[in-house]
Structure 1
């Protein structure tokens, strides 16, 4: 399994000895001097690294091969797991029917970030391109709702969606000048599209 993360190139330098001085030298750091820490990671980059480590262990445990891509955009971390050799069917067990397993796995990854950093994460996990395909179908669904609302003048109620999926639909509806609102609670929360033009 490979992971698309920055790597550190090997060098001929030896690691510091226990006393803090580079191995192979007789020098010792003065008492009280501590090594200067490297630059701190951006919080989103850090959660991406933590999440990728968690996913790498999970893939190894499940004996699955996959590449892990990390991307930070729009204030959120996105992780994608793609099968080596573009055989995304090999990862279908991590998606499940209608993405239920993927949703549960995403929550586990978010919990791993919380445990490691103490911060709640809004990262989005995709496996085998499932979310990308789902986003395309949601855009089509939103366009159909927009067209129906315009033609009938009536409100169009969509099936319940996750918060991430609702945002995709809201964005498409807004682009076409109509209003969409979320209604309901919990698993029943869904979008209503109205023909009233957006203000």
Structure 2
């Protein structure tokens, strides 16, 4: 039972962002990097405004209609796009969304000179994916508790791994760590030591 995969998460991921160190624990961030020093809300909101302008330009080029919300959440800039006909901006398993997020981060970097931890969401994809991943994490934790053996989950993007780590960290009796190299980086859930 040591190499059991969950059916909720497919085997391959095309939406990985950047390569990460070999054995990152639950401190990994949703963008695959490490925490950067906290910026003040004014700087974060400026990043979200720059990102929103960039995304608005992309929507105009693509002739898509969408409302754009710019905010800060959890110490990071966030841009949310809502509207009809936006699924193609998410892509299969969020691959297109991840690519758009990277392009938007580059646009922010170009204007600020500082790497951004911007989170881009389209059509509420990330919120619904978080719920799915919470169920995957809880299911894996229950199996680990029941059988007492580690479980390797399917490869996931940095955002997905962060969501799973957050759920596992909140549970007792289990722990998680990431292993492997992008795009095959995965989480291992094991009994707590």
TM range (shorter): 0.7 to 0.9
SS in 2 for 1:68: strand
CA distance in 1, matches of 2:41, 2:177: 37
Per the alignment, do residues 53 and 195 of structure 1 end up closer, same or farther by CA in structure 2, a change over 3 Å counting? Answer: same
| Aligned-pair CA distance for 1:196 | 2.1
SS at match of 2:192: strand
Partners of 2:151 and 2:116 in 1: CA distance: 32
The reply on whether 1:98 has 2:123 as its aligned counterpart is: no
Larger relative contact order, structure 1 or 2 (CA cutoff 8 Å, min sep 6): 2
In 2, Cα distance between equivalents of 1:106 and 1:135: 17
Larger Rg: 1
The DSSP-based 3-state class of the residue aligned with 2:154 is coil
- Residues 48 and 79 in structure 2, CA contact (< 8 A), matched pair in contact too: yes
CA distance in 1 between counterparts of 2:118 and 2:140 reads 28
Q: Please state whether the residue corresponding to 1:194 is helix, strand or coil.
A: strand
Question: How far 1:187 sits from its partner (Å)?
Answer: 1.0
1:24-173 map, 5 Å: 42-83=42-83, 87=84, 90-173=85-168
Give CA-to-partner distance per residue, 1:148-195, whole Å, 9 cap, x none.
100110101111112221111111111112210111112111110012
Q: Structure 2: how far apart are the matches of 1:111 and 1:94?
A: 18
Deviation at 1:71, TM superposition (A): 2.1
Inter-partner Cα distance in structure 2 for 1:104 and 1:50? 17
1:174 corresponds to which residue? 169
Q: How many residues align?
A: 153
Distance in 1 between residues matched to 2:94 and 2:41, nearest whole Å: 31
Large movers: runs of 4+ above 3 Å: none
Between the aligned partners of 2:47 and 2:141, the Cα distance in structure 1 is 37
In the alignment, which residue of structure 1 is the partner of 2:182?
186
User: Deviation of residue 97 (structure 1)?
Assistant: 1.4
Unaligned runs of 5+ in 1: 1-39
Q: CA RMSD in A?
A: 1.5
TM-score in terms of structure 1 length: 0.74
